[in-house]
Amino acid sequence: MADVERILQNAGVIIQAYWRKIFLHPAPSVKNHGAHPTQELSFEKVWLEA
């Protein structure tokens, strides 16, 4: 696959996707919160458990 990617890159303009790791470390009292692929922060359905 690396050889194929190198050939395509040398042949012209190419848009090559990449995947980044997404980490999320909420406190245990934070409920219904998850990592979004675009790192969007939406807290409409998130709550704190006392």
48 — phi, psi (to 5°)? -105, 135
The residues pairing with 30 across neighbouring beta strands, listed in sequence order, are 48
**What are the tens digits of pLDDT across the range 2-48?**
898 888 888 877 777 777 777 777 889 999 988 887 888 888 999 99
The count of domains in the chain is 1
Q: Residue 29: what pLDDT? A: 92
Q: Which domain holds residue 50?
A: 17-50
Contact assessment for residue 33 and residue 40, using Cβ atoms and an 8 Å cutoff: no
Q: Residue 31: what pLDDT? A: 93
Residue 34 domain-assigned?
Answer: yes
